[in-house]
Amino acid sequence: MLKRYLPILSWLPHYNRRLCGADLLAGVIVTVMVIPQSLAYAILAGLPAVVGLYASLLPLLAYALLGTSRTLAVGPVAIIALMTGAALSGVATPGTPAYLEAALVLSLLSGLMLIVMGLLRMGFLANFLSHPVIGGFLSASGLLIAANQAGHLLGLDLEAHTLLPRLGELAADLPGVHGPTLALGIGSLAFLVLLRLYGVRGLRRLGLPTPLAGLLTRAGPIAAVAATTWLTWRFDLAAQGVAVIGEIPRGLPPLTLPGFEPALWRNLLVPAFLISVVGFVESVSMGQMLGARRRERISPNQELVGLGGANLAAALSAGMPVTGGLSRTVINYDAGARTPMAGLFAAVGIALVTLLLTPLLYHLPIATLAATITVASLTLVDLPMIRQTWRYSRSDFSAMAVTIVLTLVEGVEAGILGGVTLSVALFLYRTSRPHSALVGRIPGTEHFRNMVRHDTETVRHVALLRIDESLYFANARYLEDTAYDLVTTHPELEHLVLICSAVNLIDASALESLDAINARLKDSGVTLHLAEVKGPVMDQLKRSDFLDDMTGRVFLSTYAAWRELARETE
């Protein structure tokens, strides 16, 4: 039981020097790589850059104690930073103490929600975020993040948070573009894009092995930060109007306790829930994918607790909402991390940077961080997945399209809520009209197939109706109508067999409908039978009076029903 809630106890007793060496190397590499990301994502959320560093310290410790993934790296990520900024801008003004306080409350609420969901084993809630909705949300968010960074790249002060107003504001302010900022921003952007496209290939041509080439390519943001920081310091570009990070407080994060203001908590409840669910889905997806490569298992419900603990740690250490990040985790995995101890080593490295090296970041241009964010966010735009969804399912594409449009026009909360609502509505509509088919016997076999699609043998007085959906309140009446239409259009019918091979559930409403079908068919002189009823469904039916009242029998297979009833009608 203790290992279940403290997964660290499952690997720490077996920790050795070999694992320590691998984790230490991974921790050093992650420390160097994620510092620009941490600063950039804090700025994306409208928070001071140092908040990103604070959110990369204690949350890593909390996740190492409570999380189940050996390689997941927790910290600020782009999509959660965007959602954080959207949530906070509605309750406070960026740059004010109230804005910082709201960020702590948001982290606290997210942490509490995740822990409660984990203890209640509610990881299944993530299943309501369908892949098209998540894909559409991430693609739209990538575009939105890139648009939000345009002002930093061009040296413009833009205030709008949704796409169309932001583009209008950008067009109106284009004459005021700041030349030095534009040069730094676009130069960094071009360097990072070219490195992402051709870096590995170019370094391999120079003779470097593929793993090292990949690692150096991911270190591109470090090179951009170092080069532009030096240029800004050497030519005093800050005096010429280039926005820089400025002074970052030295030292470890202060211990903080978010205040309790009922109005603020109420306003942040929905954003906190959405941040929790989206962060959980992103984190678990990464953890499961990488865990499968090493034949390691993660527990989604315990991951809720681990991520909740990480967010509580962020709230108590002046941080911001966190989750398992894609780029952080890939860097951690590729660097050879074997256990969560790599995250602890990374936290120690970031703490040393916060204590000793923050003065070196004073001249870091905001435009460089904006370029880093833009390149990372555009990788979220998945055009092949959008095209495939359009070709495969127009209804799923409609949910994706609604998510994209609402996210771009109304914001991230409206986008994800709209997409989830439409997905659930489409599911209810599809399952309320379950597919069913009259089947017949393939000659010379014991197999039965749709009479419309195959040449089959049938018996004139027997109808074999296969139901391809579980039966519940939304489709119970539709089943009644289907059965009655069948009896009406086949006056010679004496036996109706409902084939339940695809039925995993019969709820109380569907049971009432089966009773009604049985009574109506009895009045019409038709006997109702069931075939291929699954064990759990049969257990439910046995707890009711339906089987006693049913006019026919329950057959083990469709072939048994066909053979027995065909003999009776000869």
As a whole number, mean pLDDT of residues 301-310 equals 93
- Say whether pLDDT at 226 is over 60: yes
Distance CA 366, CA 42 (A): 12
| CATH 4.10.490.10 corresponds to the domain 436-569 | no
Amino acid at 13: P
As a whole number, mean pLDDT of residues 241-254 equals 90
Q: What is the pLDDT of residue 554?
A: 95
Secondary structure percentages of the chain, helix, strand, coil, to 5: 65, 5, 25
- Say whether pLDDT at 559 is over 90: yes
The angle that helices 17-44 and 326-334 make with each other, rounded to 10 degrees, is 160
Res. 207 pLDDT band, cuts 50 70 90? confident
Question: Which range among 20-34, 83-97, 221-235 shows the weakest confidence by mean pLDDT?
Answer: 20-34
Q: What is the pLDDT of residue 298?
A: 81
Q: What is the pLDDT of residue 216?
A: 80
Inter-residue contact 302 to 7 (CB < 8 Å): yes
**Radius of gyration of the CA atoms of the chain, in A:** 30
26 or 285, which is more confident?
26
- Say whether pLDDT at 55 is over 80: yes
Q: Facing residues of 467 across strands? A: 436
Distance CA 87, CA 412 (A): 9
Res. 271 pLDDT band, cuts 50 70 90? very high
pLDDT digits (tens, 9 = 90+) for 348-365: 999 999 998 889 889 999
Inter-residue contact 320 to 256 (CB < 8 Å): no
Structure tokens at 447: 């197999």
Helix (H/G/I), strand (E/B), else coil: 562: helix
pLDDT digits (tens, 9 = 90+) for 126-155: 666 778 888 888 888 888 888 888 888 888
Nearest CA to 137 out of 384, 413, 369 is that of 413
Distance CA 337, CA 36 (A): 20
Please give the model's pTM, rounded to 2 decimal places: 0.79
As a whole number, mean pLDDT of residues 526-531 equals 95
Mean pLDDT, all residues of the chain: 88
| Domain map (residue ranges) of the chain | 18-127+173-378, 436-569
Q: What is the pLDDT of residue 161?
A: 67
Distance CA 71, CA 80 (A): 20
- Say whether pLDDT at 569 is over 60: no
Per-residue DSSP letter, 253: P
Q: Is the dihedral of CA 224, 226, 232, 238 positive or negative?
A: positive
183: part of which helix (H) or strand (E)? Answer: helix 179-205
Distance CA 61, CA 346 (A): 10
pLDDT digits (tens, 9 = 90+) for 95-121: 899 999 999 999 999 999 999 999 998
Structure tokens at 156: 């413009």
Distance CA 557, CA 549 (A): 21
Tell me what percent of the residues of the chain surpass a pLDDT of 90.
46
Distance CA 132, CA 434 (A): 22
